[in-house]
Amino acid sequence: MPGMGGSSDSGGSLVVQAFHHALVTQGALILVVVAILFVGWNHLRSLQYRRAVARGETYPPAEPARRQVPEAPARRLLRIAFGVLWIIDGLLQLQPGMPLGLPSAVLQPSAATSPTWVQHLVGSGADIWARHPATAAASVVWIQLGIGALLLLAPRGLASRGAGALSAGWGLVVWSIGGAFGGIFAPGLTVLFGAPGAVVFYVIAGILLAFPERIWTSPRTGRRITGGLGVFLLAMAVLQAWPGRGSWQGTIDGKPGPLASMVASMAEVPQPHPLSSLVASFGAFDQSHGWGVNLFVVVALATLGACFVVGGRWLRPALIVFAVLAIADWILIEDVGVWGGTATDLNSMLPLLLLAVAGYVATVRPGVVADEVADDTEGMAVVAAQPESIDVVANEPPANEPPANEPVANEPVTIEPDVPVPVAAASGVTPPTDRSWWERIDTSSAGRAVAAVGALAVLLIGVAPMAAAAVDRSADPAIAESSTGPPSVVSSPAPAFSLVDQAGHVVSLSSLQGQVVVLAFLDPVCTTDCPVIAQELRVADELLGPDAGDVRFVAIMASRLYNSREAMVAFDQQEGLDSLPNWSFLTGPVNQLAPVWKDYGMEVLTAPAGGMSLHSDTVFVIDAHGTLRRVLNADAGDGGHASQVSFAEILAQQVKQVLHP
């Protein structure tokens, strides 16, 4: 269960501030959209009221008699329950550790033991998140809140089915990229730890909600759900009993086994002490009685699976026992799922239990089989009558039937199936024929539609920036500034230097006048920060575009031992800098380098054992007249691609400001 065991220490960082700013900005936009929808709906009601008063009619008008089929209990349970779960998941995304912590604490660990192709897929999502952490984190909040709200606010019709489809679609994205397919391609798969991933059950629920509502009128749907659950539990029992996976041992070579180790790690997550003590106690019990615990789990899974497959009178007791075991697993092993600072959902046992309950309800209480009446925007009612319920009038009336021009009591009405008839006519009331289209809108139905549109707006406000971030190869400058701080704006003469470049030519600061100089200090044998800084300089050169012709990137040797031209050439080739026409790497004897180090405030020390140098990571921007304008802390941070691109973005921005003051 990645994400529960650690979090990113991001308190007070610029990324978290940017995250909160994005939430506030997008939240304000959502309020504007909701306000516009509400004002429009209220204006429609006001127009209808004034027109009704002018006509001497009552408002709101009396509702015509309708034969509206109620939503099936099982479908209503799924819709409301998973709507609430999506909202909880969206609220969990508000945690301040999410922007910086999700890639390292959730995405990468989830794919660590999966095949290479899964790691590449998850890595693509992690890269998008890492380059735009504030945008991505805020987008996910609104996407999941929007899906949850749409499920809750759209109980019937196309909007409700569409909400189910959106839930399934977003769930597939989260399950594949965010959860590495729940670990189904990794070793050690077990339902006790949350396999095959909580979100896969969101997907199943969404698909069920997207189907036509008539499927819930037959107990077959419930039987298929519970039967599928039974097959799943039987498969999980086989995996749990499979030898050689460590499930039968509480300890292995004196160390906790897989289950005991997982439970122990969950107990260490910051959480209320009573819960951590309970979880730790179960971990100690499993460590001492691992074989017995696993035997109980295997027997329970197999027995419950068989009962769900068989169904009938075994279904209800199996559901009760499964509910007890699922809640026990959710507490004792999955540790509720909300702790750790980067937890993304409540883990798998609750959504799995909800599916089981919905399957049982659909079996014992299927939806009502009756004529369906649905209102359209033109005030029409569609009567979908069963053929056997229609009174058919023959072409020739019976001999004892009165003449056609005489009134007949209780005369049967011929209604063809699926034929639109006016609502008012169906109720015996004839509406005025001069009403405009907006007068015929049912404002109560319109209110529900407005609420659903508002929920959809929340979803779209989350989707749009996420889609933009996915195609934007740049990185948020706040990533680098979180660790390096903002650039310092200065104005003083830059210290002079005159050294030899990689081609053996003498290069001095005065010879570079007329160009903006980006100056760094690098060690050619460094294996940590210097290669990262070199890549940041290369990316910054690319970001400058046409302005790169007026900029010179210069590095001065920062090593007392490896300061030869051969070392510089090897470093340039290794980092791909030898292809840059505006790149110079300068060196000289230590007695020439030392004064330059001192003038620029660089302390260069040789690391123990005579390896690479220890020196300050600083980049200077000098204008075309030899005046020092910017000083940037080039600390490599985590050294990741997002961090490199982020610093390069900052550096390119500062260079452009110096070029075009």
DSSP 494: P
pLDDT of residue 339: 87
Q: Which residue has the higher pLDDT, 399 or 526?
A: 526
Which of 420-424, 514-518, 542-546 is predicted least confidently?
420-424
pLDDT in tens, 128-151: 888 889 999 999 999 999 999 999
Q: How many CA atoms lie within 13 A of 579 on its CB side?
A: 8
Which of 291-295, 414-418, 483-487 is predicted least confidently?
414-418
Alpha carbon distance 171, 133 (integer Å): 20
Confidence band of 435 (pLDDT split at 50, 70, 90): low
**Coil vs helix vs strand at 578:** coil
Alpha carbon distance 157, 79 (integer Å): 13
Helix axes 133-153, 73-92, angle to 10 degrees: 160
pLDDT of residue 368: 78
**Coil vs helix vs strand at 507:** strand
Alpha carbon distance 268, 328 (integer Å): 19
Q: How many CA atoms lie within 13 A of 647 on its CB side?
A: 29
Domains, the chain, in order of start with CATH, read: 480-659 (3.40.30.10)
**Coil vs helix vs strand at 235:** helix
Provide DSSP, 298-356: HHHHHHHHHHHHH-GGGHHHHHHHHHHHHHHHHHHTSTTS--SS---SS-SHHHHHHHH
Which position has the token pair 């980006």?
518
Question: Per this entry, what is the length of the chain?
Answer: 661
- 457, exposed or middle or buried, with CB in 10 Å at 0-12, 13-18, 19+? buried
Taking the whole predicted model, whether its pTM rises above 0.75 is answered as: yes
Most confident of 31-40, 56-65, 348-357, 361-370: 348-357
pLDDT in tens, 598-637: 999 988 887 776 677 788 889 999 999 999 999 999 876 6
CB atoms within 10 A of CB 10: 21
Q: Rounded to 5 degrees, what angle do the CA atoms 603, 604, 607 make?
A: 130
pLDDT of residue 430: 46
Q: What is the mean pLDDT of residues 325-347?
A: 91
Alpha carbon distance 583, 538 (integer Å): 9
Confidence band of 380 (pLDDT split at 50, 70, 90): very low
* Helix and strand totals (H; E) in the chain: 21, 15
CA 139 to each of CA 203, 255, 339: distance values in angstroms, whole numbers, following the listed order: 20, 42, 22
**Coil vs helix vs strand at 628:** strand
CA 497 to each of CA 593, 600, 630: distance values in angstroms, whole numbers, following the listed order: 9, 10, 18
pLDDT in tens, 24-83: 999 999 999 888 888 887 888 788 778 777 877 777 666 554 556 789 999 999 999 999
Please answer whether residues 368 and 69 qualify as being in contact, where contact means their C-beta atoms are separated by less than 8 angstroms. yes
Which of 29-38, 370-379, 442-451, 551-560 is predicted least confidently?
370-379
- 575, exposed or middle or buried, with CB in 10 Å at 0-12, 13-18, 19+? buried
Please answer whether residues 483 and 637 qualify as being in contact, where contact means their C-beta atoms are separated by less than 8 angstroms. yes
Cα of 536 vs its chain's centroid, Å: 29
Alpha carbon distance 207, 63 (integer Å): 34
Residue 497 pLDDT > 90, yes or no? yes
